[in-house]
Structure 1
Amino acid sequence: MHNIELLNKFLKDELSATETYQQALDKLKENADLGNSEYLSPIFYEHKEAVSSIQALINQLGGTPSEDSGVWGSWAQIVVDGAKLLGNSATLKVLQEGEKNGADDYEKALLDTELSVDIRTLIESKLLVSNQANIRTLDQLLDTAKAA
């Protein structure tokens, strides 16, 4: 049961990430001058893929996947709306913080001695690697935004 609960927490976080990136991409489409959508779209799809992988593992373990992002998703909506008003850099910082929080959660989970091999493998081979790459991409976008 512990593993399914942990996976559902990760699932809610990934659902929230997809919602947040979708909102950011929508905002970028509204304001062509903000750019960066070609860099953010692949991250959005990586999170959608993570959702599918986590859902499949929860089903495989006999659990029921969460269907919404819960409180975190509502908070993310408020933050992204505020960031949209403040511009591109603020939006990128919100996305970066979300990625860093996700990476921290995955790293903490790897310390759990009760973590199943399947979950450990998913985190080590896909979820954490993806988060770390996304952080690097967002770091570069933020550096570019500061230089502009």
Structure 2
Amino acid sequence: MNATDECIEVCNSLLRGELSAIETYTQAIAKFDGDPERRALEAIRDDHERSADRLRDHLADMGATAATDSGAWGSFAKAVEGSAKVLGESPALAALEQGEEHGIDEYENALRNADVMEEIKTVIRGDLLPALSEHIATLGRLRNK
């Protein structure tokens, strides 16, 4: 696998993570129907949609086909969120927070990967990674209400 192929694979993996987050937040938002937390969760989901769009743009620039589903991580995230929905709001928020922490790990791994293009690393450092830290802070505040 050459460097461009590896970069494409990493970007598609990150995109699948963003797609998983979008799916999971959509599911969680239904649990918070009418709650003030709903607006915060919708804003986080919108951030993940923007991040997915950025990754799709980079994949298109590389002439690659972008992932269209969340894959195995999405199935796992849905299972975690589904069980959290049964247990209540605080566990649901904790599950979302765990997903954000996993996303941070994935982006940090991409930053350490020598085959990931510097242009993409700049976007990760400047936009995508800081958004996840903000999401964790927001979810923590919501859980501690």
The one-letter amino acid of 1:143's match is N
Question: What residue number does 1:6 align with?
Answer: 10
Per the TM alignment, residue 109 of structure 1 is displaced from its structure 2 partner at its CA by 1.6
The one-letter amino acid of 1:70's match is G
Question: What residue number does 1:116 align with?
Answer: 117
CA distance in 2, matches of 1:131, 1:55: 18
Q: What is the aligned residue count?
A: 141
SS at match of 2:132: helix
CA contact (8 A) 2:84 2:95 kept: yes
SS at match of 2:65: coil
Which ranges of structure 2 fall in alignment gaps of 5 or more residues? Answer: none
Question: What residue number does 1:61 align with?
Answer: 62
The one-letter amino acid of 1:21's match is Y
Which ranges of structure 1 fall in alignment gaps of 5 or more residues? Answer: none
Per the TM alignment, residue 73 of structure 1 is displaced from its structure 2 partner at its CA by 1.2
Question: What residue number does 1:93 align with?
Answer: 94
Question: What residue number does 1:77 align with?
Answer: 78
Q: CA RMSD of the aligned region, Å?
A: 1.1
C-alpha deviations, 1:70-128, integer Å up to 9, x for none?
Answer: 11111222111110110000100010000001011111221222221111011011110
C-alpha deviations, 1:13-53, integer Å up to 9, x for none?
Answer: 00000000000001211xx4x54112111100000111111
SS at match of 2:144: helix
Question: What residue number does 1:136 align with?
Answer: 137
Question: What residue number does 1:26 align with?
Answer: 30
Per the TM alignment, residue 12 of structure 1 is displaced from its structure 2 partner at its CA by 0.3
**Percent identity among equivalent residues?**
36
C-alpha deviations, 1:52-80, integer Å up to 9, x for none?
Answer: 11011101011100110011111222111
User: What TM-score do you get using the length of structure 1 for normalisation?
Assistant: 0.91
CA distance in 2, matches of 1:57, 1:137: 28
Which runs of 4 or more aligned residues in structure 1 lie more than 6 Å from their structure 2 counterparts after TM superposition? Answer: none
SS at match of 2:69: coil
